[in-house]
Amino acid sequence: MSAMNRKLIQNLAETLCKQVKHFDKAEAECLIRQFSGLLGEQAERRAAHGLDRVRFRNILHNTFGMTDDVMMDRVFRVFDKDNDTYVSVKEWVEGLSVFLRGTLDEKIKFCFDVYDLNGDGYISREEMIQMLKDSLIRQPVEEDPDEGIKDVVDIALKKMDYDHDGKVSYSDFEKTVIDENLLLEAFGNCLPDAKRILLFEQHAFREPHEH
Amino acid sequence: MSAMNRKLIQNLAETLCKQVKHFDKAEAECLIRQFSGLLGEQAERRAAHGLDRVRFRNILHNTFGMTDDVMMDRVFRVFDKDNDTYVSVKEWVEGLSVFLRGTLDEKIKFCFDVYDLNGDGYISREEMIQMLKDSLIRQPVEEDPDEGIKDVVDIALKKMDYDHDGKVSYSDFEKTVIDENLLLEAFGNCLPDAKRILLFEQHAFREPHEH
């Protein structure tokens, strides 16, 4: 709270709840207050820009239960829309609107952006391999792990590559997930599960609503 | 493969694919072979009964990426339908049919059974607290954590307890999840995610189909 005064927070909440979906003004205010608290733990110079990568990854890990390094880095990059290496308060609230209350469409867009590692509009074979390889190592493996990965990528492409160009476009991914929702997070967990969402909302929105 | 001969496996596959949904005979055969391999690592006397709790939990952790102790124990209990403290080959294939290819209805039934810790047909406040308390500790906490849990349980009951009897019946849970699919795993991850399913199926079903 020390970083922003009450008036400023109310003003910002007023603006944000109009620009960002799924939160009303009181909720936006709670999220801004919470953000201010999270920033408080960062050195002042950095706090002015927003949450840095390390701090943001800690939140993904501790609060949202994420464990995959590739995914946590990608989620940071997708939250950080202006690509300035900090997640600002607006970027935080925008990201949370998908995390906590996103529609299926919004989540498809989010996951696709996470999985499109180089941002060229396609999930390529190489990108799939990069996202899947860490998980495969934990499988009981009797054979060449690279062979195993290639097979998984082939299966993924068979399910997803509707236009048969050897890579997954946004439209391919959208069709796939609408047909089988479970495939939303096919290449890695990048959204919080229901339990974490419940716990997060309880923590964030309890005050000042109920006191 | 040493534990069962080819003829026996084919015979069992023939029977199981009729009794268990979602797998054809060739797939059932693959799962039986794989089960036989998993058993191979257990001492012979125990292997005769099936997978013991420790071995089964290792599979949940390493292959299906589960981390929550309460959930892993409960998943073991739900797989172990005859309650003899071992998961038999039939119980393994039955459980996997929900894990890998379950319909929403089958998954609702599975998760409810996992969450109904004492098997009395209801998810009670006390059961919710037991399932949620380990996650809450990781939240940034400035206040009494027991208070936080009580609030989360209140929110969960508000969302789920349609008949207002202070606990969640199967029918309450079913209505809740059909209305909002995301709440399927509200009290903890007990089903594998899409990535793990892809990897598992690739590993289990590759042979002898494709070679």
- A168 Cβ neighbours under 8 A, 6+ residues apart: A122, A123, A124, A156, A157, A160, A161, A176
Residue B197: CB atoms within 10 A of its CB come to: 19
Q: Do B185 and A199 touch (CB under 8 A)?
A: no
Task: Count A/B contacts: CB-CB distance under 8 Å.
Answer: 95
Q: Are A95 and A63 in contact (CB under 8 A)?
A: no
* Mean pLDDT of the region A142-171: 86
Q: Is the pLDDT of residue B176 over 60?
A: yes
Q: Is the pLDDT of residue A71 over 70?
A: yes
In sequence order, what are the beta bridge partners of A51? A87
* Mean pLDDT of the region A81-98: 96
Q: Is the pLDDT of residue A144 over 70?
A: no
Joined together, the tokens standing for residue A122 give 């396609």
- A86 interface with B at CB cutoff 8 Å: no
- A86 three-state secondary structure: coil
* Residues in chain B closer than 8 A to A37 (CB atoms): 140
Peptide bond into B208 cis (omega under 30): yes
- B183 interface with A at CB cutoff 8 Å: yes
Taking CA–CA distances from A198, the nearest residue in chain B reads B152
Taking CA–CA distances from B154, the nearest residue in chain A reads A202
Taking CA–CA distances from B157, the nearest residue in chain A reads A198
Taking CB atoms within 8 Å and a gap of at least 24, the contacts of A141-149 are A148/B202, A148/B203
Radius of gyration for the alpha carbons in chain B, expressed in angstroms and rounded: 19
Q: Is the pLDDT of residue A44 over 80?
A: no
Query: What pLDDT score was predicted for residue B4?
Result: 60
Alpha helices in A20-142 (DSSP H): 25-40, 44-47, 53-62, 69-79, 89-101, 104-115, 125-136
Tell me the average pLDDT of chain B: 88
- A143 interface with B at CB cutoff 8 Å: no
CA B74 – CA B127 distance, rounded (Å)? 12
Q: Do A199 and B139 touch (CB under 8 A)?
A: yes
Taking CA–CA distances from B67, the nearest residue in chain A reads A65
Query: What pLDDT score was predicted for residue B149?
Result: 82
Residue A156: CB atoms within 10 A of its CB come to: 23
CA distance to partner chain A, nearest, from residue B6 (Å): 20
- A152 interface with B at CB cutoff 8 Å: yes
Q: Which of residues 42-71 of A touch B (CB under 8 A)?
A: 62-63, 65, 67
Least confident of A27-41, A115-129, B32-46: B32-46
Q: Do B132 and A184 touch (CB under 8 A)?
A: no
Q: Do B188 and A182 touch (CB under 8 A)?
A: no
- B15-70 pLDDT tens trace: 999 999 999 999 999 999 999 888 876 666 666 789 999 999 999 999 998 989 99
CA B86 – CA A69 distance, rounded (Å)? 35
CA B116 – CA B114 distance, rounded (Å)? 6
- B108-154 pLDDT tens trace: 999 999 999 999 999 999 999 999 887 765 555 455 667 778 888 99
